Amino acid sequence: MLRGKRIVLGVTGSIACYKAADLASKLTQAGADVDAILTESAAKFVTPLTFRSLTLRPVFTDMFDPNSPMAEEHVALARAADAMIIAPASATTIARLTHGMADNMVALTALATKAPLLVAPAMDSQMWGNDATRANVASLRARGVIFVGPAEGRLASGTMGLGRLADNDTLLGALRQALGAGGDLAGRRIVVSAGGTQEPIDPVRYIGNRSSGKMGFAIAEQARDRGAKVTLVCGPGALATPYGIERVDVGTTAEMADAIGRATEGCDALIMAAAPADFRAANPAGQKIKRTGADLNVELTPNVDIIAGLRGGFVKVGFAAETESVLVNAHAKIAKKGLDMIVANDVTAPQAGFSGDTNLVTLIDRAGEVEELPLLTKHEVADHILDRVARMISARR
Ligand code: CTP
């Protein structure tokens, strides 16, 4: 999403400027061409050389620089940008933007660009909460400016509150979403499930499985980056919520079934990457089961098959995590569960298991067409799945 994209990074006066250096580095590593612009105040906190060294490109500070590599740099940068992000954005910069001022290179470029403009505020919570700032933010939002953050936490003043610069994963997610807003899933609503569920045996023990949720999270992110509105229903796990995605946390398969039933109303597609537990304890104990030295038998009863039970006119994609006879089992599941497509993988294959970042899968559609994909990252696999989903949604409409 960021490869080859021209991103203008406006850096304004805040101690959080040092974090913008890391953002410049992450954007550059992701393949973006970063044009950093520092205001005079920003250059008091960090040096232009920091950004020059990280982006390997000229850095702009002065709109009257006679030696600038660009003849008409203010307009040239604004025109070339695929997106502009101001991080950190001070209260003064937000006020400048509100009034359409162009008295420094950051404000001027923001005024001149037609690219999506993202603003990541960083300031003391009292400044953020001031009526003047709130009115400025509301006015900019109404004009389509995308605000990211601020986050809550410890502020430079030593107090706790709202005003921290959003973290770089959030800023990168917001940029990716803004860049992909017109993608092939724009206007589509996609529900993705991820991770395993946990079925209690007693208040401290449960039946679970090895699903990490990484495949479902990758699909959710890639769908967001293609313009979709994404709801991610996930079992317990430590993965951070990607920016711009509605997350619904569930514990058991029954809870997942409820959440997915609600989320899929009126959706365009369900991609069921989760591994809901197929069984639950028939009679979970109300108190912790004590060790007595004797055998313990836990009676299990089957859970609902979530995806098989859903009918609603949307595209249904299932996964088949198998340990043997992968294709035969996957074909059978398409018919049994009424799927449009299944993503089959042998979870015992090296580099294709649950917790890694790669996957080796075969896509099989309802017509029986089989596409074997090479070993790919989970994000690349997600894009192959979404290529098909986008086509299937269009075909249905
Ligand atoms: N699935 C579901 N509800 C369940 C179990 C599975 O919706 N209770 C979904 C999974 O999310 C996946 C697909 O069904 O998309 C296939 O899951 P899998 O575990 O491979 O199939 P099962 O039906 O559980 O069959 P088995 O465990 O016997 O292989």
- Rounded CA-CA distance 8/20 in Å is 12
Distant-in-sequence, close-in-space partners of 157: CB < 8 Å, separation ≥ 6 = 124
Which 3 state secondary structure label does DSSP give 115? Answer: coil
Q: Quick one: which of 197, 173, 195 has its CA closest to 83?
A: 173
Q: Which atom of ligand 1 is nearest to the CA of 277?
A: 8
* Annotated domain spans of the chain: 6-179, 189-396
Backbone conformation region of residue 338, classed left if phi is above 0, alpha if psi is from -120 to 50, else beta: left
pTM: 0.93
Question: Tens of pLDDT along the chain (397 residues)?
Answer: 899 999 999 999 999 999 999 999 999 999 999 999 999 999 999 999 999 999 999 999 987 777 766 656 568 899 999 999 999 999 999 999 999 999 999 999 999 999 999 999 999 999 999 999 999 999 999 999 999 999 998 888 888 889 999 999 999 999 999 999 999 999 999 999 999 999 999 999 999 998 999 999 999 999 999 999 999 999 999 899 999 999 999 999 999 999 999 999 999 999 999 999 999 999 999 999 999 999 999 999 999 999 999 987 999 999 998 888 888 888 899 999 999 999 998 878 877 767 788 989 999 999 889 999 999 999 999 999 999 999 999 998 7
Residue ranges in the chain assigned as alpha helix (H): 17-29, 42-45, 48-55, 73-80, 91-98, 105-112, 125-129, 131-142, 168-179, 214-224, 253-263, 326-337, 378-396
Look up residue 84 and give its amino acid: M
Q: How many residues does this entry show for the chain?
A: 397
Q: Which of 307, 311, 345, 361 maximizes ligand 1 atoms within 8 Å of its Cβ, making it the mutation to test the pocket?
A: 307
Q: Are 271 and 385 in contact (CB under 8 A)?
A: yes
In the block, which residue shows the tokens 């006879």?
325
C-beta separation of 250 from 232 below 8 A: no
Q: What is the C-alpha separation between 139 and 158, in angstroms, rounded?
A: 30
On the question of a common fold for 6-179 and 189-396, the answer reads yes
Ligand 1 centroid – CA 318 distance (Å): 8
pLDDT of 320: 92
Q: Which of 136, 209, 345, 359 is catalytic?
A: 209
| Residue 345 a catalytic site member | no
**Top-tier CATH class for 6-179:** alpha beta
Query: Which residue, by CA, sits nearest to atom 24 of ligand 1?
Result: 278
Both structure tokens of 221: 């992110």
Distance 297 CA to ligand 1 centre (A): 25
Distance 84 CA to ligand 1 centre (A): 43
- Tell me how far apart the alpha carbons of residues 91 and 132 are, in angstroms, rounded to a whole number: 9
Q: Name the residue of 193, 199, 305 whose CB sits within 8 Å of the most ligand 1 atoms, as the mutation to test its pocket.
A: 305
Q: Which CATH number fits domain 189-396: 3.30.450.70, 3.90.550.10, 3.40.50.300, 3.40.50.10300?
A: 3.40.50.10300
Q: Residue 4 has what DSSP assignment?
A: T
CB distance 62 to 48 below 8 Å: no
State the DSSP H helix or E strand holding residue 341, giving kind and residue range, or none if neither. strand 341-346
d(CA 281, CA 200): 7
DSSP alpha helices (H): ranges in 300-377? Answer: 326-337
Query: Ligand 1: residues whose CB is within 6 Å?
Result: 253, 272, 274-276, 278, 303, 305-307, 318-321, 333, 337
